[in-house]
Chain A
Amino acid sequence: MSKPFVDIRHAAKKFGELEVLHDISMQIGKGEIVAIIGPSGSGKSTLLRAINDLDPLSSGEVWLEDMQVNKALPPRQYEKHINQVRQDIGMVFQHFNLFPHLTVRGNITLAPKMLKGISDAEANALAEEQLKRVGLLERIDYYPSQLSGGQKQRVAIARALAMKPKVMLFDEATSALDPELVEEVNQVMKQLAEEHMTMIIVTHEMGFAESVCDRVVFMDGGYVVEEGPPEVLFRNPSHERTRNFLRKHLQGQS
């Protein structure tokens, strides 16, 4: 791999005595799509949320290109710095977290207008462009409560994309959806993959991970147990824990 785009160096996280991440290092290349899988409590969401410092690490570094995300700075400067860096890191949540008091348009335009100083007209064009991308242009003046779960998540993706992020983080983006709504969100993510968006995806969906991702990372108990291309990790895992997890997961699905 050439120079890493997202570089996690010796990431560790403790909640009091409990160590949820043990010395994790991981490099992600530009345009690479990485799935992080593992049982609940394995630390995969914590790791993902450390990348944009929503859950700060106890030690270790996160880099995005040539910028250290979790740079040691005095609090005020750090606030400025992290708010700037976060504009480059889109994030999609399990429960969408759309702003219920704003329309779809308002959800998408709020941050770009506030943070990038663009005009209303530009912001509207931006919202329309991003909604077209996720196939929801006709819902632009709806409120989140008037949308299905799948539509909400697609709007949440459009909202993140409107900041023109360099990397997208997905934290179990389809886990809260009814099964029949999962596919429409997966389609949008596949499309982003085809556009070579750099993506880090925490997921329970092995089928999706296998078909879309370049690399799969299996985490358990705060460790990266193994990682590799999906065809290797899913078909021929080298660790007993990975095999156990995959076996249980497949049983759970059948």
Chain B
Amino acid sequence: MDFDLILRVYPFFLEAAWVTIQLSVYSIALGLACGALGAAARLSRSKPARAAGAVYVSVIRGTPALIQLFILYFGGPQIGIQLDAFEAGVIGLGVNIGAYMTETMRGAIIAVDKGQGEAARTLGMSRAQAMRKVILPQAARLMIRPLGVNINAQIKGTALVAAISVVELTYTAQRYIGSTYKPFEMFFLAGVIYLVIIYATGLGISYLDRKAALR
């Protein structure tokens, strides 16, 4: 292992890691929004909304994320969608993880005891009021851990956007291999940085989960 090389290049990798973090944060934020909308659609009383939610989830989960990114980035201009690589990465990854988050959120909401909604409705609350004040606060606690799993997957998933030449961690590793011919060191370094990001995120999620735990 060439440690001198690693010491020489790691500042550039840290810069790239910052791009990875930005990609992660933006795409996760978008994913949470898509997930909330998707879950609302799938649990809606309106049949078209339920159908739309179901199509979203099955299309996105039924196709490779890489293909989705390619369609958006390379195919987009053909249908009038012009995005730079970073934008396409955020949107593609966000919409992708949103489908998984839809299912996570829906699962947490339907896991709240049916009696909770009944008790709220019996007191005279509307469906929306019962959802907001009684069901969602309980579902939110239930979804922290599984959303953490989605988030973990998403951070690693950002490596895919190397394929549409976003200069993030994986792309940077590949680029330095081109000039150094040291794939072991370069991928090893990238891997360590991913590990640190994911470990820190995991700590944050555990903290949230503990804080939200029922007394």
Contacts and interface: CB of A to CB of B under 8 A. Distances in A.
A111 interface: yes
Contact of B123 (A79, A95, A143, A163): A163
Contacts, number: 66
Nearest to A93: B115
Contacts of A100: 138, 214
Contact of B125 (A97, A114, A146, A156): A114
Interface residues of B, number: 21
Contacts of A89: 122
A125 interface: no
B183 to A, nearest CB: 51
Interface stretch (B5-13, B99-107, B126-134, B163-171): B126-134
Contacts of A86: 121-124
Interface of A: 52, 54, 79, 83-84, 86-87, 89-91, 93, 95, 97-101, 110-111, 114-115, 143, 145-146, 156, 159-160, 163
A111 B116 contact: no
B84 interface: no
Given A97-B115, A99-B116, A145-B215, A54 B124 contact: no
Contacts of B119: 91, 93, 97-99, 156
A54 B121 contact: yes
A60 B129 CA distance: 29
Given A93-B115, A114-B129, A101 B123 contact: no
B137 interface: yes
A111 B215 contact: no
